[in-house]
Structure 1
């Protein structure tokens, strides 16, 4: 019988490996993951880790049984989870899957070890710091036997053959997974990764034709190095970016008029952006969220006229500014870009 697209699972720690001062790799497995699985490459698949309260080595609450009962009553897993006392249910945090080993039923998650200015870490970082073999937690993710495609995947470049990936350390696992998914694809591009220090530059396999640029942040603010690097990547004189600009110049304004050139397949309305208040809202502007009408035609002409795709994630402030730059200043078609505010400085994310 087919399961719901999203399910709750218990995952047991099989291995813990320090990749760098900021990245700790945790490999999960066990009988509880038998029903988990995206049934394809995870790309930038998001899952929810439920961190046991009080530093417990295992969940203290039968969340799986509770959610199953609530599902039968027609209550969604998230609404059901909210009903439970936080001191019992624990804390929920979102992570991307670094690797899913389907044959072995093993899930790899690269977790960020970080603290605030006072040296305090959040519940997920604290859990990761103390994780040991045999520890376990609950997670929310795609069900192996679900008929619908898994939710939580945004990377969808379509026919694009020139790709830009950019983000801070929270986006590094997703970008690494995306690059792995592209290893047999005939694409070119660049990955721009801003990390806390040079010691956080880790091994990432990129497909031929892909450049990986690491930006150790040091004492700089989040995005201070990432933003100019992304702007430079877009301006770079590669054939694909030049082609994108050449298409735009064909539709440039006539002499005497003002305003930037239109990118092919885009219109003025495509470039109008809502002013997202990132202190109150999550910045999540992805092609899948556009209405069917806004997604427009998929003719071969338009595909050839839009060879570029960008995927940008990380702290919401820089992501918001890059969103405005690419869409409003450069005129890149919104159907060809995914912008995701993974987190907001000073705010806990669920």
Structure 2
């Protein structure tokens, strides 16, 4: 599958008050092999301009250098998202957009007004980033609403997961199979109720692995608890900070971001 291409919006629907599900079609999507937590880069064009794509290249670093070489006023904004579901018969994928409160970033601003016929660019999904699911007796999944699409795909593959998801309020819950514990912030600090619930959770006997995603600081706190307090080995924890409070993917990484990246790479 060509790693880069165009995506056209074919449908938009509001699945919760703060989540918009966008259906895309595009060349190559019908050949897309599914796997859990399947991520891709979406490219949002500058206002009033078509999407300008870097030259196609299977090597991600050469592709990224070509992306940076696009003049700044023509360069699309790039953001990472997870494939929520797919329909290979129609060469279509669904992507969920969380409409964050406060000033809208480029992805949220786009999602709020997305209509059929709109076009974005993409890079991926790339099978090089596919990670196998753990074979532990229990898989603990924990995250905020941005992790919900990935958790949904994981639950389609396993039946041994214990899941904790923190969302803004009860209206943000979505139907999911299995043992899912919903935590409602209802104005509380982001991540506080999730961390408390995971700390208090009684997990089944046997080996435990974890999958954590969402706001980066929250993910770090969860991971520290699982390692220091529960004795789960670092290698048994898959973790990703999808977003950072007060920062975007365009901002320079913090020292904690760099430490996380080094650990994921085994440095």
Query: If each structure's strand is expressed as a fraction of its own residues, which one has the higher value?
Result: 2
Note if 1:60 corresponds to 2:50: yes
User: For residues 79 and 36 of structure 1, do their structure 2 counterparts lie closer, same or farther at Cα, with a shift above 3 Å needed?
Assistant: farther
Q: Which runs of 5+ in 2 are unaligned?
A: 251-267
Question: Aligned equivalents of 1:74 and 1:152: distance in 2?
Answer: 11
Deviation, structure 1 residue 74: 10
* Residues 20-40 of structure 1 deviation map (CA, whole Å, 9 limit, x = unaligned): 1111000001xx33366442x
Where in structure 2 are the equivalents of 1:265-304 lying within 5 Å?
none
Tell me which stretches of 4 or more aligned residues in structure 1 moved more than 6 Å. Answer: 72-75
Q: Distance in 2 between matches of 1:85 and 1:321?
A: 39
Matches within 5 A, 1:1-350: 7-29=3-25, 32-34=26-28, 37-39=31-33, 41-54=34-47, 56=48, 60-63=50-53, 66-68=54-56, 71=57, 76-116=62-102, 120-142=103-125, 150-154=127-131, 156-157=133-134, 159-182=135-158, 187-204=159-176, 206=177, 210-233=178-201, 236=202, 238=204, 240=205, 243=206, 307-349=207-249
Q: Distance in 2 between matches of 1:336 and 1:172?
A: 20
Note closer, same or farther for the CA distance 1:72–1:331 as it changes in structure 2 (3 Å cut).
closer
Aligned pairs, how many?
250
How far apart, CA to CA, are the structure 2 residues paired with 1:37 and 1:310?
Answer: 30
Offset from partner CA, 1:301-333 (integer Å, 9 cap, x none): xxxxxx321101111112111111111222112
Which runs of 5 or more residues in structure 1 are unaligned?
144-149, 244-306
Cα distance change of structure 1 residues 317 and 338 upon mapping to structure 2, 3 Å threshold: same
> For structure 1, which segment, 101-110 or 9-18, has the greater mean C-alpha deviation from structure 2 after superposition?
101-110
